[in-house]
Structure 1
Amino acid sequence: MAYRLLFRRLSPLLRSGSHLVPALNSALRLPRQAVINQNLAARLTGSRSMSSDNYDKQPEILNIQDEEDFEKRVIGSAKPVVVDFHATWCGPCKLLGPRLETIIAGQKGKVIMAKVDIDENVELAMRYNVQSVPTVYGVKDGKVLTSFIGLKEDDEIKSFVAGLM
């Protein structure tokens, strides 16, 4: 019975994933000083742990805010950048994003990923002729080298990323 109560309290939090540790403490009605281990929180949700040894292995992902931010962090980047133009309502975008992140994580910091929401950055999407989503560009030394549109298989994405290095 105690497990059912615990599960009912945790279910909405596990779905949202935001502010997980404080939310778990609150759901379990733990004192404010008590902190649930982030690794335990990650195991409960199936997400990645944010411990220092795993954090270094995470891909560098930039959420582009506006054109100025794009110029500074993508065009001005010393590393190659995979730019993912996506939309929150786009089904293929939801499938492609995690694939890109996983493949870029495998590059161990040699490549950066920038995510551009076309609904929030309309001018930027128009400037780069984004006519459908997902559209992915490979940028190196401030220049677009290659691109693809739509959902691709992992081996095609790996070849795309390898072509930037």
Structure 2
Amino acid sequence: MATRLLARRIWSVSVKDFRRFPVAVSSSSLYSSSPNPSLRPQHFLSRTCSLPLISYRGVSFNVQDQEDFTERVINSELPVVIDFHAQWCGPCKILGPRLEKAIAKQEGRVTMAKVDIDEHTDLAIEYGVSAVPTVIAMRDGDIIDQFVGIKDEDQLDSFVKKLIGQ
């Protein structure tokens, strides 16, 4: 009975629960004190811990206001890819992660600014954004290239490489 209850608990654990597990604690140290080997779900935890959890949050930032845009985009020493998007836009939700992945491949040679057109209508008007997603590549405050719509990963890689001059 106890084994069945433990098995149910293990299989019902959500992904949010795994975020609470300390990273330094291994699954073998969590259950090594249990005398019954069947109560040691090591195989389950090790499989779960090996799932790829990829985050590209370090390569992009959300623009807060016009002053933030000027400071972090226009005056940036690095080339910047600007993603004009909206929360309600389905294609934007597809393009955003693809674009962040392409930026992450450049290992810090380019950064990405995200501009929500509903919050920053003035920036969207200033840069002639009439549809979303619109992506603009900027270097030293000058627009190098831009596109509207979804692109596949190869097209995004070449777009970003063109910006950094490869």
Q: For the structure 1 residues 6 and 120, does the alpha-carbon distance in structure 2 shift closer, same or farther, using more than 3 Å as the test?
A: farther
1:145 aligns with 2:151: no
Q: For the structure 1 residues 58 and 93, does the alpha-carbon distance in structure 2 shift closer, same or farther, using more than 3 Å as the test?
A: closer
| Matched pairs, number | 140
Task: Kindly state the Cα deviation for residue 60 of structure 1 after the two structures are TM-superposed.
Answer: 2.1
- Distance in 2 (CA, whole Å) between partners of 1:65 and 1:138 is 19
Q: Structure 1 counterpart of 2:54, which letter?
A: R
Task: Kindly state the Cα deviation for residue 134 of structure 1 after the two structures are TM-superposed.
Answer: 0.5
Cα displacement string for residues 88-122 of structure 1 (whole angstroms, at most 9, x for unaligned residues):
11111111111111111110110101111111111
Cα RMSD (Å): 2.8
The residue that corresponds to 1:10 in the other structure is 14
Task: Kindly state the Cα deviation for residue 43 of structure 1 after the two structures are TM-superposed.
Answer: 3.8
For the pair shown, which has the larger CA radius of gyration, 1 or 2?
2
Residue aligned with 2:106, SS: coil
1:96-115 mapped onto 2 (5 Å cutoff): 96-115=95-114
Residue aligned with 1:115, SS: strand
Q: For the structure 1 residues 89 and 141, does the alpha-carbon distance in structure 2 shift closer, same or farther, using more than 3 Å as the test?
A: same
Cα displacement string for residues 45-81 of structure 1 (whole angstroms, at most 9, x for unaligned residues):
75237xxxxxxx9752111111111000000100100
- Distance in 1 (CA, whole Å) between partners of 2:103 and 2:24 is 24
TM-score under structure 2 length normalisation: 0.72
Residue aligned with 1:84, SS: strand
Task: Kindly state the Cα deviation for residue 38 of structure 1 after the two structures are TM-superposed.
Answer: 7.8
- Distance in 1 (CA, whole Å) between partners of 2:103 and 2:111 is 7
- Distance in 2 (CA, whole Å) between partners of 1:140 and 1:8 is 49
Cα displacement string for residues 107-165 of structure 1 (whole angstroms, at most 9, x for unaligned residues):
01101011111111111111111111100000000111110000011121111111111
- Distance in 2 (CA, whole Å) between partners of 1:61 and 1:142 is 17
Q: For the structure 1 residues 5 and 125, does the alpha-carbon distance in structure 2 shift closer, same or farther, using more than 3 Å as the test?
A: same
The residue that corresponds to 1:47 in the other structure is 53
- Distance in 2 (CA, whole Å) between partners of 1:39 and 1:160 is 42
TM-score under structure 1 length normalisation: 0.73
Q: Which runs of 5+ in 2 are unaligned?
A: 27-47
- Distance in 1 (CA, whole Å) between partners of 2:24 and 2:96 is 24
Q: Which runs of 5+ in 1 are unaligned?
A: 15-19, 26-35, 50-56
Q: For the structure 1 residues 44 and 136, does the alpha-carbon distance in structure 2 shift closer, same or farther, using more than 3 Å as the test?
A: same
Q: Percent identity?
A: 45
- Distance in 2 (CA, whole Å) between partners of 1:138 and 1:154 is 16
Deviating runs (4+, > 6 A) in structure 1?
Answer: none
The residue that corresponds to 2:115 in the other structure is 116
Q: Structure 1 counterpart of 2:136, which letter?
A: Y
